[in-house]
Structure formats: C-alpha cells, structure tokens
Amino acid sequence: MNSLLAWLDDRTGYKSLVHEALYENIPGGARWRYVWGSTLVFTFSVQVITGLFLWMCYSPSSRSAWESVYYIQYEMQGGWLLRGIHHFTAQAMIVLLALHLVQVVIDGAYKAPREVNFWLGLILMQIVLGLALTGYLLPWDQKGYWATNVATNLMVLVPMVGSDIQKIVVGGPTYGHATLTRFFALHAGVLPGLLIMMLGLHIAVFRRHGIKAASLDKRPDQKFWPDQVLKDAVACLAVLAVILFFVLRGALHEGTPGEPIQARLGAELGAPADPANPYSAARPEWYFLFLFQFLKYFHGETEVFGAIVIPGMVMGMLFLMPFIGRWKLGHGFNVGLLGVLGIGVAALTAVAVVEDRGDESYKEAVQTAEEDGTRAIELAQSPRGIPDVGATSLLRNDPKTQGPILFTRHCASCHAHEAPAGNSDGDRHSISPRDPSAPDLYQFGSRDWISGFLDPVQIDQGTRFFATTAHKDGDMVSFVKHTLTDPDQWTKQEIDAVITALVAEAGIEKLDPNNQQLQKQLEQGRELLKDTDRCAMCHKFYDENEDAYGPDLTGYRSRQWTIDFIKNPAHERFYGDSNDRMPSYGKDEVNPQNNILTQREIELMVDWLRGDWYERGSAEEQ
C-alpha cells in the first residue's frame, strides 16, 4: 500500500496538496466564527447530492412535474426524506450566507488584499438566491407557481428590455412547459455550474491570502488541522441536525385519520398549479418576504424604484465596501450599513408576517389552499390515481372542490348551503348569503331534508325551504300545513312511507334491501305517490298523472332529476310558468356555449349538493 501511495504521490503530488489544505496557518488559532464558510460548502455539497437523486425522478413538464414530485414524496422509498433535506438545506444556505457575510464584514476580511474574494462571495450569494428562486417553481404547485409568477412579473419593470427578458425567462407570454424546462435548466445545470466555478475561484483566492485575523488580540497561531477541522465538523453536524429537525418535525403532530405520514414529513406539496385558479395568498419564501413587503410601498411608476433601483443601489454599496473601508471611518460605516440593512430586512419581514396574521382574506385563502393540497393528494392516492391528462384535472373534476366554488359564484345570491358548525367537510362548504330568498340546499334530497319539507312546522319557517319565493304561500305549503295534519286524511305511518319513497327516488341514502319492514314501507310510499287522490293529484309519478302541474316526482331529487332541474327549472316537468326567478343554467342543447353553466359544471355542483364524491376509506376505495 505504501508503494502504491508513493507512486500515486509521485504522479499527482497529492500529499503536498493535502498538506497545504490541512496545515494552513490560522492567525490567532481556531475559532468558531470561522466555521461559516465550511458550513456553506457542506450545505452546497448536500444540495448537489440530494439534487442529483431528485433529478433521477423529476420530470420537468407542466403535465408531469407535480406528478413526479408526488411520486418522490409519497411513493418512492425515502423520497420524502430526500426532498425534505434538499428543501430545508436550501433555506439553511440563505441563513448561513447572511452569517458568513456578517462575519466577513465585521472582521474586515473584505479589505485589501481580499477585495476580489469579497466580490466573488457576493456573486456566489446572488447565485444561491437564484437557485432558491428557480427551485421554488419546480414542484409546479399552486404556491410555487403563483409566487414565481409575481417574481417574474417584476422583470417587466426593467426599462426598455423588461418585457423581452420576461418572455425569455418564462418561455413565452404565459407560464407553461417551456417555463419549467428553462427554470429546471437554470436550477440543475447553469446556476450550479456557475456556483462551482465561482466557488473554486473563491477558495483559490482565499488560499492565496489566508484567513484574516479576527482581532488584534494575539493568540498563538494554529494549523487548520485538527482544531479548526473539528470545529467545522461540529458546526456542519449541528446544521444537519437543525435541517433534520425541520424535516421530521411533522411527526410530532397528529395527522388526520387516514392521512399518509409523508404528508407531515419533509417538504410541503400543495395542489397542482392551475392557471385558471389564482392563488390570492401567493407569497415568496420567508427569505424574500422582506422584498415583497418593501414593494407594497411603491405604486405605479415608482414600482421600478422598489423592485430594481433601490435593491441595485444596495448591492452596489456592498460591492463598494472594500473601497469605503479604506477611509478612517469606512469600516465602521460598512458595519453600520450592514446592521441597518439587517434591521430593515427583519422589520419588513416582521411587518409582512403581522399583516398576514391580521388579514382574514389571506388566512382564508391559505386554509383553502391547504385543503386543496390535502384533497389533491387524497385523490392522487385513490384507486383511479392521477389521470393521463395530468394532476390539474384532479381538482378540476372533483365535486368536493368545485362544488362550493360554482355554488358561490352562481347560486349563493339566493340560496344558502349552511352546514352545521364543525362540519367535517370544512368551512368552505357552509355558504350563507346576506339575504337568502330561496331554499337552503344543504343535504338537499336527504331524509332529513325531505322530512323537514313535509313537516307543517318547518315548511314555511325561516329560509330552509321556500324562503321568500312565491311558493311560500302556495298549494304545497297549504297541503303540508292543513292536509297532512288531518289524521282523517294522512297518518304518520303514511307520511313516513312517502318520505322513504322519496328518499329512495333521490338515491342519496342507500336503503337496505334485506330490511323487510323498510321495503314494505317503501312499497306503501310508492303506492301513495301514485294515488291520484293523494300525491299524484298534483304531481306526476312515473306513468301517473301526465297532466300534473306540480314538479315531477319521478326520480325526485336524484342526480339526473337535479341536473335537469338546474338546466331548466321552467320546464313543464318542473315549475313551468310558475317558476319564480330561478334562471335556466343550461337549457340550450343546440348551442351549449350560450348556457350559463356547462354540462360538466352542473354535474359537479349536483354531485357536491348530494355529497357524492370520493373519500379515503369509502366504498369506492374498498
């Protein structure tokens, strides 16, 4: 072995290189304040290693980026750990960069002859920030998509060439496949390559001039090995421990039933990016939050000053520090400038956080985004999985997600959908207009809803049923309040039978076919619905009473019945000429583009009203 090492040293001279690296002189001895550079090299190495493994599984396409990140996070063995380390190490690098910059400026390590090394460090800082910005988009989720959209829109503010720069970076006028390929190329290729090159120059120049002594207090010099190496190693381990804490901290919190543990470990994965669904709570990562807040104070034509001019001046001042430091009071000025910048960044970040905490619309948007993210994962893990058209369709075709949106947009001016407090489906499923004038459609067609509808006490009270429509004083209300309450005409057993028959028509509640008593009640109810002296006097039920003037009870409140009703409530099958103000949302079959809602939108809203959507642990999954 010694002969082999001697031969290798003769050919490469590695022993002298190792000796030069390990036995570099440290004026004043090893110190903890010198560890920041080594921790930065360590974290960058971690990023390279984890990034390469992530690269093996990542697919930069608008139809596969989110899907591949989902695979890494939830399907790949240890993928959540790999992604979590990469995510939080990126944030650690930002913190370590700031600490390293502070240490360099305080120690005066930017002064001659170390000016070039200081400038190389500032360039490295810009590259690391660029890596953070480009990496934020790659999961292609709502948070990253819209936050990066805001950031790239600032490029337009560059005089004369801003729009062209934005189009080059984005890959066209809008975000899409070309945007991802560009950002991925920058994140995984161009910027790391530049960083390695600049880091090599930075270390080479550093070796040329050595460490700048922290103070004039002369302690004995030491070599880099072993004391400083030990301190650097301990610091790197401490950084790794902090990173792992953030990766694993989700395990300390109890998740929702059925939720995969990966949802609480590693890095967050939001809902798939959807250009048609703006994310009003879009914010940059916390280390860019100060700039986001700073830009709020500039409007219109002055925005260019907040986005480009002033940040450019600050960077210019940092680059001028070696020259300013030559003056008698220059070093104190530089330290003071860095302190003011640090206080300013901290203050702006704190203001942004406080404002968001007090902004109800922001908190509501964040909650909605979190629910959408959880829902997207739940749908991706369903038996149907992610469709070929991409993960965006998961939420676009999900009644639980789209139903409240469509209802709020098209129905909530008249109708309420007031879910009780603590409803497991979330607050977004409880929708209350200021002055409801039409029926409350929560659990529309359920046994509870139909029972209340045939209750003489409830039928005309409040806004649950006819509310303030013209039907509030109509024949149906009179029938329920006077005829159903007459024991000579209707018994409770008969009313219960009709309720069961209508519940069966709606199909929301599955009736046990083996329950003979229930089946007997169902048959009795259907006979009553067909009886022309009872329900069929006013309503059509299958073949009975073709000339009925009340709504058809055939398939009453079923999925198809409700779809047809929403499409055209004024159809003779429903309210006909007595329809009170409810618009027809899809009656034009010949020219569907003229309709208020598409067929698919109506179906999604009806499925939501019926509570007909996939849930983890449901019969569909089993």
Per-residue pLDDT of 269-287, as tens digits, reads 999 999 988 888 889 999 9
Whether residue 270 sits in one domain with residue 122: yes
Q: Note the pLDDT tens digit of each residue in 608-619.
A: 999 999 998 765
The confidence band for 215, taking pLDDT boundaries of 50, 70 and 90, is low
Tell me whether residue 374 is in a domain.
Answer: no
Whether residue 91 sits in one domain with residue 231: yes
Q: Would you give the DSSP letter of residue 510?
A: P
Is residue 372 within 8 A of residue 271, CB to CB? The reply is: yes
Q: Where is the domain boundary, 253, 277, 301?
A: 277
The confidence band for 212, taking pLDDT boundaries of 50, 70 and 90, is low
Tell me whether residue 324 is in a domain.
Answer: no
pLDDT of 513 above 70? yes
Token pair 């590259």 in the structure block, residue: 127
The confidence band for 153, taking pLDDT boundaries of 50, 70 and 90, is confident
Tell me whether residue 294 is in a domain.
Answer: no
* Residue of higher predicted confidence among 433 and 81: 81
Q: Where is the domain boundary, 254, 277, 300?
A: 277
Q: Note the pLDDT tens digit of each residue in 518-537.
A: 999 999 999 999 998 889 89
Whether residue 442 sits in one domain with residue 588: yes
Nearest 5°: phi and psi at 495?
-65, -45
Whether residue 264 sits in one domain with residue 387: no
pLDDT of 93 above 70? yes
The confidence band for 217, taking pLDDT boundaries of 50, 70 and 90, is low
Tell me whether residue 360 is in a domain.
Answer: no
What is the reported pLDDT for 425?
58
Give the global pTM: 0.89
What is the reported pLDDT for 216?
52
Whether residue 72 sits in one domain with residue 205: yes
Tell me whether residue 222 is in a domain.
Answer: no
pLDDT of 387 above 80? yes
Whether residue 394 sits in one domain with residue 248: no
Whether residue 540 sits in one domain with residue 427: yes
pLDDT of 214 above 60? no
Q: Note the pLDDT tens digit of each residue in 32-75.
A: 989 999 999 999 999 999 999 999 999 999 999 999 999 999 99
Average pLDDT over residues 315-334: 95
What is the reported pLDDT for 257?
76
Residue 315's nearest CA partner among 347, 341, 343, 351 is: 341
Q: Which CATH number characterizes residue 160's domain?
A: 1.20.810.10
The confidence band for 194, taking pLDDT boundaries of 50, 70 and 90, is very high
Q: Note the pLDDT tens digit of each residue in 552-564.
A: 999 999 999 999 9
* Residue of higher predicted confidence among 424 and 287: 287
Range name among 24-38, 42-56, 578-592 with the lowest pLDDT average: 24-38
Whether residue 206 sits in one domain with residue 70: yes
How far, in Å, CA of 173 to CA of 218, rounded?
Answer: 61
Token pair recorded at residue 234: 């301990």
Average pLDDT over residues 292-316: 93
Is residue 181 within 8 A of residue 26, CB to CB? The reply is: no
Tell me whether residue 258 is in a domain.
Answer: yes
Q: In 482-512, which positions are buried (b, 16+ CB within 10 angstroms) versus exposed (e)?
A: eebeeeeebeeebbebbbbbbbbbbbbeeee
Average pLDDT over residues 313-318: 97
Residue 474's nearest CA partner among 415, 538, 526 is: 538
Range name among 203-212, 471-480, 599-608 with the lowest pLDDT average: 203-212
Is residue 414 within 8 A of residue 569, CB to CB? The reply is: no
Q: Where is the domain boundary, 260, 277, 294?
A: 277
Q: Note the pLDDT tens digit of each residue in 178-192.
A: 999 999 999 999 999
The confidence band for 622, taking pLDDT boundaries of 50, 70 and 90, is very low
What is the reported pLDDT for 313?
97
Range name among 236-245, 256-265, 337-346, 363-372 with the lowest pLDDT average: 256-265
Tell me whether residue 201 is in a domain.
Answer: yes
Residue span of the structural domain in which 474 resides: 379-609
Q: What is the torsional sign of CA 433, 436, 441, 443?
A: positive
Average pLDDT over residues 377-389: 94
Is residue 40 within 8 A of residue 159, CB to CB? The reply is: no
pLDDT of 621 above 70? no
DSSP symbols for 132-173: HHHHHHTT-BHHHHHHHHHHHHGGGGSTTTHHHHHHHHHTSS
Q: In 520-530, which positions are buried (b, 16+ CB within 10 angstroms) versus exposed (e)?
A: ebbebbbebbb
What is the separation of C-alpha 209 from the centre of its chain, rounded to a whole number of angstroms?
48
Total tally of structural domains belonging to the chain: 2
Whether residue 572 sits in one domain with residue 446: yes
Average pLDDT over residues 402-408: 95
Tell me whether residue 330 is in a domain.
Answer: no
Considering the chain, what is the average pLDDT of its residues? 91
Q: Note the pLDDT tens digit of each residue in 472-489.
A: 888 999 999 999 999 989
Percent of the chain clearing pLDDT 70 (strictly above): 96
